[in-house]
C-alpha cells in the first residue's frame, strides 16, 4: 500500500519544527514508518539550494530567481526522497511545501498566486499533499517568538509588511485548498498543538485504511 504525504505550513515562528518532530516521534513509537523532512532542504542538493536562497549576502537575488530556486529544490527533494518513501508505504511529514511558495513568493514577493502555482505544478508533476496541517498563529506573534535567534537568514530580515503579505497569501491558500488543509490553533500550548496535529494525522490514516 502507498504511504501518505503530509505537510506542515504556517508563518515563521508557528512551531512547525518542534510540532513535526514530536508528532513523528509519537507515530514512530506507535509503529508507523515515518520520514521527517523539510523544505527547502531534506537532501544534499536541496540543502545546497537552501543555503543559496537564505544566504544574507545574496541581497541581489531577483524574486523570480528565488521562486524558481524554491521550486527546483522542491523538485529534487520530491524525486529523491518523498516519492520513493511514499512508494515504500511510509508516512512522509514535510515542513513546508508548495503552499509556502504561494504565500511567500506569490504574495510576499507579489509574483502572483497563479504564476507561482504554475511553476510549482511543473516542478511537482501536479502532486499535492494528502493533507496539510496549517499552524495558525498571528504573524507578529510568530516573529516575536523568533526574535532572540542569533542568526537571521535573508528571509528573516524581511520587513513586517512582507510578513503581512505572506499572511494574506496563506489566507488565499486556505480558501483555495480548504479540502486538503486542516487548521490547528498554534497559539495554544505546544502539547495541545502536538496532540491536535497527531489526532488529525491518525484520522487520515484511519480513513485511508478503512476506505
Minimum distance from residue 12 beta carbon to ligand TMP (Å):
5
- Taking the least distance from each CB to ligand TMP, the nearer of 105 and 197 is 105
**70 belongs to the binding site for ligand TMP (CB under 6 A):** yes
User: Within its chain, how far is the Cα of 27 from the centroid?
Assistant: 19
56: CB partners within 8 A, 6+ apart? 152, 153, 154, 157
For 57, list phi and psi in degrees, rounded to 5.
Answer: -80, -10
Strand order in the sheet with 91-95: 34-38, 91-95, 4-9, 131-136, 181-185
- Taking the least distance from each CB to ligand TMP, the nearer of 71 and 205 is 71
163: CB partners within 8 A, 6+ apart? 11, 12, 108, 139, 140, 143
Stretch of 80-88, 98-106, 190-198, 200-208 lying at the interface with ligand TMP (CB under 6 A) = 98-106
**96 belongs to the binding site for ligand TMP (CB under 6 A):** yes
15 and 70 Cβ atoms separated by less than 8 Å = no
| Binding residues for ligand TMP, total number by CB under 6 A | 11
- Please identify which residue in 22, 27, 39, 92 interacts with ligand TMP, judged by CB under 6 A: 39
- Taking the least distance from each CB to ligand TMP, the nearer of 105 and 167 is 105
- Please identify which residue in 8, 104, 134, 170 interacts with ligand TMP, judged by CB under 6 A: 104
First CA to last CA distance, the chain: 12
Q: Is 33 helix (H, G, I), strand (E, B) or coil?
A: coil
**163 belongs to the binding site for ligand TMP (CB under 6 A):** no
- Please identify which residue in 7, 37, 76, 101 interacts with ligand TMP, judged by CB under 6 A: 101
Residues in contact with ligand TMP by CB under 6 A are 12, 38-40, 70, 96, 100-101, 104-105, 155
Amino acid at each position: 500500500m502507498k504511504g501518505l504525504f503530509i505537510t506542515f505550513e504556517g508563518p515563521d515562528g508557528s512551531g512547525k519544527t518542534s510540532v513535526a518532530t514530536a508528532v513523528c516521534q509519537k507515530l514512530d513509537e506507535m509503529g508507523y514508518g515515518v520520514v521527517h523532512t523539510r523544505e527547502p532542504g531534506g537532501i544534499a542538493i536541496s540543502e545546497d539550494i537552501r543555503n543559496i536562497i537564505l544566504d544574507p549576502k545574496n541581497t541581489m537575488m531577483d524574486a523570480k530567481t528565488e521562486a524558481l530556486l524554491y521550486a527546483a529544490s522542491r523538485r529534487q527533494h520530491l524525486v529523491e526522497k518523498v516519492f520513493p518513501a511514499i512508494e515504500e508505504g511510509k508516512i512522509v511529514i514535510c515542513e513546508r511545501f508548495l503552499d509556502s511558495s504561494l504565500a511567500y513568493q506569490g504574495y510576499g514577493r507579489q509574483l502572483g498566486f497563479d504564476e507561482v502555482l504554475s511553476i510549482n505544478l511543473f516542478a511537482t508533476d501536479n502532486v499535492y499533499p494528502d493533507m496539510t496541517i496549517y499552524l495558525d498563529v498571528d504573524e507578529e506573534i510568530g516573529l516575536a517568538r523568533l526574535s532572540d535567534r542569533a542568526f537571521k537568514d535573508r528571509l528573516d530580515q524581511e520587513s513586517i509588511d512582507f510578513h503581512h503579505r505572506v499572511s494574506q497569501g496563506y489566507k488565499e491558500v486556505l480558501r483555495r485548498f480548504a479540502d486538503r488543509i486542516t487548521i490547528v490553533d498554534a497559539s495554544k500550548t505546544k502539547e495541545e498543538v502536538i496532540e491536535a496535529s497527531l489526532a488529525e494525522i491518525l484520522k487520515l490514516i484511519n480513513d485511508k485504511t478503512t476506505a
